[in-house]
Amino acid sequence: GAVVSQHPSWVICKSGTSVKIECRSLDFQATTMFWYRQFPKQSLMLMATSNEGSKATYEQGVEKDKFLINHASLTLSTLTVTSAHPEDSSFYICSARGAGGNGYHGYTFGSGTRLTVV
């Protein structure tokens, strides 16, 4: 089945530094990537949607200059948290959808990245 590899699985960084999270689709071409964040005991909140080769579309309230999304190829999308602060500490999850015909089950999730900013 479709697999999305997300790295790193956890990261601790100092306040003010930047962190890059990668999601790779291993056996399909991810034309669309969704990025979510999840706070403890909360649901997944959509941050942005990116289509390969296009600029990402951010949800209301998500700073595009802080959360940089790059989707330059059909198998790789990255989320960079710039100038991270403690309030950015969260669980970040990507979800990839392949080219047409996948229907509902094209939404394959990565394993998540736990970011802690100290």
Partner 1 sequence: QKEVEQDPGPLSVPEGAIVSLNCTYSNSAFQYFMWYRQYSRKGPELLMYTYSSGNKEDGRFTAQVDKSSKYISLFIRDSQPSDSATYLCAMRSNSGNTPLVFGKGTRLSVIA
Query: Which residues contact partner 1 by CB under 8 A?
Result: 6, 31-32, 34, 41-44, 46, 49, 51, 91, 93, 95, 97, 103-105, 107, 109-112, 114
Question: Which H helix or E strand runs over 74?
Answer: none
Give residue 66's identity as a one-letter amino acid code.
K
Nearest-approach distance from CB 66 to partner 1, in angstroms:
20
Distance between CA atoms of residues 118 and 115, nearest Å: 10
Give the residue with the Cβ less far from partner 1, 10 or 83.
10
DSSP string, 85-113: -GGG-EEEEEEEEESTT-GGGG-EE---E
Nearest-approach distance from CB 65 to partner 1, in angstroms:
22
Give the residue with the Cβ less far from partner 1, 82 or 102.
102
